[in-house]
Amino acid sequence: MATLLIQINMEGERSLNQESIRRLTDEEWTKIKHLLPGTEPRKSSGRPAINSRAVLDAIYWIEDSGERWLYLPSHFPPQQTCYTKYLKWKREGILDQIHALLERNA
């Protein structure tokens, strides 16, 4: 597990050591992408599909950093979207399947 360095500047804003952010590798993504919705293009109109890989990266950032969803960095999808997907995937057992496939601690 990577160690994250979070600093608070004089204005009270948090900054994260960007080198410590772990993202899914292409190999890991290939193993698990079939489990996640939104990996296929939508055929209907409406809201665009959310990038499931980016949401999963955000979930792992939260798990690895121990931070609250409120402090999710802005380069990830919106915090509420990521949190909603986290709850849904956790409830449906998708995260457990992903952890098993990637041999991460659940």
Q: Is the pTM of this model over 0.75?
A: no
CB 41 within 8 A of CB 49: yes
pLDDT digits (tens, 9 = 90+) for 73-95: 999 999 999 999 999 999 999 99
Q: Phi and psi at residue 73, in whole multiples of 5°? A: -60, 150
Q: Where are the domains of the chain?
A: 23-102
pLDDT digits (tens, 9 = 90+) for 6-35: 555 555 555 555 545 678 899 999 999 999
pLDDT digits (tens, 9 = 90+) for 43-68: 667 777 789 999 999 999 999 889 99
Q: Which two tokens stand for residue 101?
A: 């496939």
Of 11, 8, 6, which is closest to residue 66 (Cα–Cα)?
6
Q: How does the average pLDDT of the chain come out, rounded?
A: 80
What is the per-residue DSSP string for 80-102? HHHHHHHHHHHHTTHHHHHHHHH
Tokens 């290939």, located at residue: 30
